[in-house]
Structure 1
Amino acid sequence: MVDPEEYVAVVLALVEQIPPGQVMSYGAVADALATTTGRNNPRRVGTIMARYGGGVPWHRVVAADGRLPPGHEQRARALLAAEGTPMRGDKVDMTAAWYPP
């Protein structure tokens, strides 16, 4: 199991790999790292994104239903639109924008 600081680093490294126009959910990030880190907590991923995500494409991590990061919806929507991310109303179209496909 990695320590909490290492977990922050691997979460941010994974988020950096999400290509423009695609997204992952908090839970998918946690699931993708579970085997190698021994941790699987979507809420922790959300906390990491809120505290440390400013240097990575934070807007590409959304809720499982496509909701945008709380408190940052307008900015996230603008960034996602600029990347051509498929949307359904105010949410990301998760079937079209999911990473990895």
Structure 2
Amino acid sequence: MKPFTEKVIAIIMEIPEGRVMTYGQIARVAGSPRAARQVVRVLHSMSRKYHLPWHRVINSKGEIAIQDEESAMEQQLSLESEGVVVINKVVDLTTYQHRIERK
């Protein structure tokens, strides 16, 4: 596994319940600020294997970015079950964004 992928997995695992991070934010903390799409790839391919809290990752606008309606609803319900308020598929980043320093 590549070091960037390992860092992304570790960062996602650290997102606490009731908080969110953005794809770009995770890429930045992992040391590759322009690799938001790679974060998406890691989530898509490794969430099951590593039991990642994938639902805590959203886009830079605070939106649930999943196109599939069923999966988007699953993400919203998972966030709401942790106390995150989601309105029209949008999370208020000023309230719920988890911030960590660079590794």
TM-score range, shorter chain: 0.7 to 0.9
Equivalent residue for 1:17, pick from 7, 14, 18:
14
CA distance in 2, matches of 1:69, 1:52: 18
Q: Which residue of 1 aligns with 2:45?
A: 51
> Is 1:67–1:92's contact at 8 Å kept on the other side of the alignment?
yes
> Is 1:22–1:98's contact at 8 Å kept on the other side of the alignment?
yes
Which blocks of at least 5 consecutive residues in structure 2 are unaligned? Answer: none
Structure holding more helix per residue: 1
Q: Which residue of 2 aligns with 1:6?
A: 3
TM-score by length of 2: 0.82
Q: Deviations over 1:19-58 (max 9, x none)?
A: 1111000000001111xxxx33101111111111231100
Q: Deviations over 1:40-84 (max 9, x none)?
A: 310111111111123110000100111214132111011000000
Q: Which residue of 2 aligns with 1:42?
A: 36
CA distance in 2, matches of 1:56, 1:44: 15
Q: Which residue of 2 aligns with 1:60?
A: 56
Q: Which residue of 2 aligns with 1:74?
A: 73
Aligned residues: 94
CA distance in 2, matches of 1:88, 1:77: 9
CA distance in 2, matches of 1:47, 1:5: 13
CA distance in 1, matches of 2:30, 2:89: 28
1:32 partner amino acid: V
